[in-house]
Amino acid sequence: MSQEKKIHVVRIGPGNRENMTLRALQVLQDCDVIVGYRTYTDLIKDQYPDKEIISSDLIKERERCLQCVELARNGKKVALICSGDPGIYGMASPMLEVASEEGFTDVEIVPGVTAASSGASLLGAPIGHDFCVISLSDLLTPWELIEKRLKNAAAGDFNIVLYNPASHKRQDYLKRACKVLTDTLPQERICGLVRNIGRENEECRITTLGQLADADADMFTTVWIGNSQTRVYDQRMITPRGYDK
C-alpha cells in the first residue's frame, strides 16, 4: 500500500480523458486543489467543478511548486498537473527539486502517456525500435548541445522524436534541426508530425525529411523521424523491430 501523499504531480495525458490512467483520475477526484498552467487547467476544470483551481503562467514553474508545498503544509491535498508524463519535460523534476530544498517529502509522481507514445499510435508504429527523444527548446539547453545530440542520434540510426519543435518566440527550431539532420540523413527519410494529440483539431501527417523543414509545426506538435528501416504502408509509419541481415 502506498502512503497517502499530499502533493501529487499528475499527468493528464495528451489531453483526453480516455488516455488518463486510473490513478491520475483517482488523484484528481480525491484532491482539494488543482494547480497548473492555464492550458491544462482549462482542459479539465469543467470535470471538477467542486475543486479549487489555481492556474498560472508557464514561466512561473518554481513559484508554482513552492505554492504547492505551502498549500500542502496547510493541510490541502494538491494535484499539480501537466500534460503527457510529468517526468518528461514536465513538473516532476522542478517539484522534487523544490521539495528537497524545502525539506518536504510527501510527493507522489503519477506517470502518464507521453506525446512520443500517444502520437506514435496515431502514426502507426514509428518507434518500434531504439529511439531517442530530443527537445528543440534552447530555453534551458544550449543550442550547440541540441545540435550535437541530433547529430549523434542520426549517426546511431535512432528513430528520433522531437518535442518543442517551435515556440511563440522562435518559429525556426525545426528548420534548423532539419538542416543538421540532412547533413547525414537522406532527404527521403520518412517522418511524421502530430498536432494536438487527443485534443480538438488533432492533425496527423506523414512526410519526408526533405519536406519537414517547411512543415507547419507549433508548440503543440511532436515530430517523429524514422530510422533507415522505416517505411510507409497504408498511410502508416512502420519501423520494424529489427534489421534485415
Q: Which residues bind ligand SAH (CB under 6 A)?
A: 14-15, 82-85, 88-90, 114-115, 119, 163-164, 194-199, 219-222
**Closest to ligand SAH by CB, 43 or 99:** 43
Smallest distance from the beta carbon of 107 to ligand SAH, in angstroms?
17
Smallest distance from the beta carbon of 166 to ligand SAH, in angstroms?
8
Buried b or exposed e, range 51-72, using 16+ CB within 10 angstroms:
bebbeeeeeebeebbbbbbebb
**Closest to ligand SAH by CB, 39 or 229:** 39
* Closest residue to ligand SAH, based on beta-carbon distance: 84
Q: Give the pairing of strands 159-163 and 221-225.
A: antiparallel
Q: Which residue matches cell numbers 513538473?
A: 91
**Closest to ligand SAH by CB, 158 or 220:** 220
**Closest to ligand SAH by CB, 76 or 175:** 175
Quickly count: other Cβ atoms within 10 Å of residue 124's Cβ. Answer: 21
- Burial of 28: CB neighbours in 10 Å, binned 0-12, 13-18, 19+: buried
Smallest distance from the beta carbon of 55 to ligand SAH, in angstroms?
17
Smallest distance from the beta carbon of 73 to ligand SAH, in angstroms?
26
**Closest to ligand SAH by CB, 18 or 50:** 18
What distance in Å separates the CA atoms of residue 198 and residue 220, rounded to the nearest whole number? 11
**Closest to ligand SAH by CB, 52 or 203:** 203
Smallest distance from the beta carbon of 240 to ligand SAH, in angstroms?
25
Smallest distance from the beta carbon of 57 to ligand SAH, in angstroms?
15
What distance in Å separates the CA atoms of residue 33 and residue 182, rounded to the nearest whole number? 47
**Residues contacting residue 52 through CB under 8 Å, at least 6 positions apart:** 32, 33, 34
Quickly count: other Cβ atoms within 10 Å of residue 202's Cβ. Answer: 16
Phi, psi for residue 101 in degrees, rounded to 5? -65, -35
